[in-house]
Amino acid sequence: QVQLVESGGGLGQAGGSLRLSCAASGRTFSTYTMGWFRQAPGKEREFVAAIRWNGGSRTYADFVKGRFTISRDNAKNTVYLQMNSLKPEDTAVYYCAASTGGVAGLRDLPAYWGQGTQVTVSS
């Protein structure tokens, strides 16, 4: 069982930066593929980024490439999402997710979800 708790959301300005953190419980954190999704009002939840268990492979949605960076610290059981060059369309609830099935498994059906953290970007 893995529990995920996000933090770091809030209000940002267009062109600015925010960093999200996701703290995971459980001794098997380092074996999970971790990722971030987001859901804007009135829209479906969408994939943002994923990172394999050893940090050696990272995958991004096209709309965040070059702006967002996912990273992880297995010693701290934490995954991060550094968001730079924020845009108003990045406004959404951001969810942390975990999967044992690799990036494809994470994108299809994560095993665990966090409760979400709100990110609002003003223009």
Q: Give the model confidence (pLDDT) of 62-120 as tens digits.
A: 999 999 999 999 999 999 999 999 999 999 999 999 998 888 889 888 889 999 999 99
CA dihedral 81, 87, 89, 93 (to 10 degrees): 30
**E strands present in 53-91:** 58-60, 68-73, 78-83
Q: Do the beta carbons of residue 90 and residue 117 sit within 8 Å?
A: no
What pLDDT shows up at residue 15?
Answer: 97
Question: At residue 12, does pLDDT exceed 90?
Answer: yes
